[in-house]
Amino acid sequence: MSVSPVDPATLAEAEAATGGDRPGPGFVGRSPGQLAWARLRRDRTGLVSGGMLVFFVLVALAVPLIEWAYGIGPREQFQSRLDGFGMPLGYAGGVTGEHWFGLEPALGRDIFIRMVHGLRTSLFIAFAAAVTTAAIGVVLGTVAGYLGGWLDAVVNWVTDLTLAMPFLIIALALTPTIALRFYGQREEVPAAFQIGVLIAIFALFGWTSTARLVRGQVIALREREFVEAARASGAGLGHMLFRQLLPNLWAPILVSFSLAVPAYITSEAALSFIGVGLTDATPSFGRMIYRSLDYLQTDPAYVFFPGITIFALVFAFNLFGDALRDALDPKSSR
């Protein structure tokens, strides 16, 4: 909490943060979180994209309830609704009141319920990978930036080595190798194992950007007066890192996290598309789009529904990440 003379811009922000109650003349108390929330509330793009993200997350959390109400499972096949060529009967890929987004050609599985399950899978992988990479990056970046010396050199060397590795090539090699290490060629790999492998691969490569960002912020903060005062009072390493430095790093960490989630969503879809991520037994946007390529002319609705959904999801995350970055930046002009 800080106290400072009021200028018109600050006064307007304080009014927005307090619901319109005008502060007393001369001075106003405000926190960085209140100012950031006030900026975010004035950003229509941020509010709309945030509302879309809330909707997607709620759908992902309510998958069991949606499946129960819908009455159809992701693996159920409706071969009777297909013609002799394996194409869905009716218009727009078999869209009816029973099958809202139609049926998959050849297999006859319901597209809507598979998309709902695929949304939950994508969000779980993306959030788990983002949390893991953020935790690793924050710890390594904070320790390296504060202690410096040989530890900082080692962390920088490992970071440069990780950045030099080609992610796609290593992912193509590691994913099937790990699966074969634990399961035979004829055994079905469980979905939980595939998801765990993807999260581990993302964590192996994704921590570097957060570590570098946090390290640079810590180097800028470690010579500040409040850090020197805490060090002079005999504060230990844990207190310095997690009570003095880390509370001042939450803004860039949140922005980095919000931009990492859509990157992992597209990465999971891309790996599943080329056949090294999730298999066809597990609902996934990447697998659905891959299977739809053979039916672009005969059944364009099959690629439209999963394609537009993953586009809207990633686009909303990117827009909200930009809005969050502007809101957390005290020098933002928006």
Question: If we measure between CA atoms, which residue out of 276, 306, 267, 274 comes closest to residue 289?
Answer: 306
Q: Which two tokens stand for residue 136?
A: 């690793």
pLDDT at residue 44, as a whole number: 86
pLDDT at residue 107, as a whole number: 84
Q: Taking the CA of residue 53 as centre, how many other CA atoms within 13 Å lie in the half-sphere pointing to its CB?
A: 19
Question: If we measure between CA atoms, which residue out of 320, 326, 292 comes closest to residue 306?
Answer: 292
**Beta partners for residue 3, in sequence order:** 29
Could you count the other beta carbons within 10 Å of the beta carbon of residue 310?
A: 22
pLDDT at residue 3, as a whole number: 43
Contact 283, 74 (CB under 8 A): yes
Question: If we measure between CA atoms, which residue out of 167, 147, 266 comes closest to residue 215?
Answer: 147
Backbone angles phi, psi at 210, to 5 degrees: -65, -40
The Cα–Cα gap between 75 and 7 comes to 61
pLDDT at residue 17, as a whole number: 47
Q: What is the pLDDT along the chain (334 residues), one digit of tens a residue?
A: 444 444 444 445 545 444 444 545 545 556 666 777 778 788 888 889 999 999 999 999 999 999 999 888 888 888 878 887 878 887 777 788 888 888 888 888 888 999 999 999 999 999 999 999 999 999 999 888 888 888 889 999 999 898 888 888 888 888 888 888 888 777 777 888 889 999 999 998 888 989 998 888 888 887 777 777 877 777 777 777 777 788 788 888 888 898 899 999 999 999 888 888 888 788 889 888 888 888 888 888 888 888 899 999 999 999 988 888 888 775 654 4
Q: Taking the CA of residue 263 as centre, how many other CA atoms within 13 Å lie in the half-sphere pointing to its CB?
A: 16
Q: Cα 9 vs. chain centroid, distance in angstroms? A: 33
Can you list the domains of the chain with their CATH numbers? 44-328 (1.10.3720.10)
* DSSP class per residue in 255-274: HHHHHHHHHHHHHHHHHHHT
